[in-house]
Amino acid sequence: MEAILQKSLQIPSAQVYLPYGTAGFRTVAHNLPQACFRVGLLALLRSHELKKITGVMITASHNHIADNGIKMIDHNGEMVPIAWERAIEAFVNAQDFAEVLREKFSNPIQGDVFIGCDNRPSSPELLSCLQQAIEVAGGTAHNYGELTTPQLHWLVRRSNFSSKLPASAYIDYLNQASRLYTSLPQTYNYENDLIIDASGGVGANTLRLLNITGLNFQIVNTEPSLLNEGCGAEHAHKIRTCPRNVPVGLKCASLDGDADRLVYYKSAENLNVLGGERLTVLMCLALKKLLDEENVEGKVTVVTTGYSNSASLEYLEQRGIEIVLVATGVKYLHEAAKKAEISVYFEANGHGTIIASENKLASLKELNAEKLLAFLSLANEAVGDAVADLLLSEISMKILDFSLKQWEELYHDYPTTIIGVRSPIKEQIKTSENELEVVEPANLVNKIQEITHRLADQKVRVLLRPSGTEPIVRIFVEALSLDTCKAVANELREFII
Ligand code: G16
């Protein structure tokens, strides 16, 4: 324990309190070394207690290049249980660290922690803090270096089922599972040319290793020094202008910085982005078709958040699909999705996956539903995975014989806008559990009610919440016209600044 304490004293501490946010810790990189050290210890402790591999990923995903972050991975490849977040936050911010260490690290511990990072300039140093913590406490850090977040989740999950896997096992899995794509006949409307914007992030490394006969893709935006600068899934989804280096008029997809989010669009000056809601609809339709073709029963449930365009929910409801709405953060979607037989879960920003219950998979095996099983096996079972989702989307479009335009024209979105605002009342804003309503402070609650009442004929819907990854409040507005959306967003911005 003394060695751990001595080592920790050599690692710079944050000058500020670090809250556990939507996807772990995230802030300017220079405030993270001590937090990385402490999270390394916790991941090792968890590994020791379970006698299973755990993981930690250093990434700030869609954030600015100067930020960084820490995402913890549990033994099953999923994010750590939500119930522990406050305890993790307390450990990371503890002032009496010697005391806390004495409580938890007095006895020798052993364990295995898989660690990896994105390609930010600050990532190697933070990775080293993690590694030092694990090693000084007596554990083994398996350093995978640069890789995508879903790749590390996948490696932790699968290595706990078999032996410790090399990073290349994930690429082999993607290439193997993509044989379904190649086995499907080329259809009339499906377009197999695709531009992929890698956002300057680690996804480009994975994409370069894909070997999928028949899918012609070109990767753009691969420079790490320009990470998330005018490109990527977050840019396309929030700013809605064409990412840099993307030629106009083509079928395109954008990943985010750590490749756990995906959006599609036809490149144009102003984008009509096919985000998580569209991925959901596309995959639900493909699943339904496969269920019918293979003549098996199966209930598909959709889990998403209040950011999803109401038009997508109406489209799904009309087709008898049950929809569950939860709070922002894939961890909430994943938890809800686990309760269903087959779930398609995506946030509107393109973060999500498909999961099926053990029982359902066993019954599909018994029924020899080969195509359906091949489709489901491509989905990352633990977390949103942009590359796996891209392959699932291409397979879905091929199964349904959809061009991008046909996919786009399935229904028409209601106009929406989303803005991020720095606000002095960010910490005071509280929402209902599924975030559909603001419940505090009272004057903001009244303001939103007054607006929605005043513009009832415009069917205004407001989702306002503090971001858990950036120092901003997100204001989302849906209405019958874009002008109304913008006016309402602006009125609320004025109210909270
Ligand atoms: C993370 C979470 C997502 C969430 C996003 C934005 O994504 O994993 O579930 O939607 O942050 O969260 P917020 O609105 O609280 O800032 P990523 O890709 O940045 O890790």
Is 186 a residue whose pLDDT tops 90? no
- As a whole number of angstroms, the distance between CA 185 and CA 223 comes to 35
Is the ipTM value over 0.90, yes or no? yes
Averaged pLDDT, 423-437: 97
Second CATH level (architecture) for the domain 416-496 = 2-Layer Sandwich (3.30)
Averaged pLDDT, 54-61: 98
- As a whole number of angstroms, the distance between CA 328 and CA 339 comes to 18
CB 119 within 8 A of CB 227: yes
Q: Chain-centre distance of CA 233, in angstroms?
A: 11
Cβ of residue 118 lying under 6 Å from some atom of ligand 1: no
| CATH class in words for 2-165 | alpha beta
Q: Name the pLDDT band for 266 (thresholds 50, 70, 90).
A: very high
- Measured by CA distance, the residue closest to atom 14 of ligand 1 is 467
Q: Chain-centre distance of CA 151, in angstroms?
A: 12
- Measured by CA distance, the residue closest to atom 13 of ligand 1 is 467
179-266: CATH homologous superfamily?
A: Alpha-D-Glucose-1,6-Bisphosphate, subunit A, domain 3 (3.40.120.10)
For the chain, the average pLDDT equals 97
- CATH 3.30.310.50 intervals, the chain: 416-496
Cβ of residue 70 lying under 6 Å from some atom of ligand 1: no
Helix (H) or strand (E) holding 144: strand 140-146
Q: Chain-centre distance of CA 153, in angstroms?
A: 12
Averaged pLDDT, 113-129: 98
pTM higher than the cut 0.90: yes
pLDDT at position 458: 96
Residue 46 CA, ligand 1 centroid: distance in Å:
24
Write out pLDDT tens, residues 434-451. 999 999 999 999 999 999
In the chain, the amino acid numbered 369 is: A
Q: Name the pLDDT band for 15 (thresholds 50, 70, 90).
A: confident
Is 479 a residue whose pLDDT tops 90? yes
Q: Name the pLDDT band for 461 (thresholds 50, 70, 90).
A: very high
CB 320 within 8 A of CB 416: no
Residue 233 CA: nearest ligand 1 atom is: 18
- CATH 3.40.120.10 intervals, the chain: 2-165, 179-266, 275-408
pLDDT at position 108: 86
Second CATH level (architecture) for the domain 275-408 = 3-Layer(aba) Sandwich (3.40)
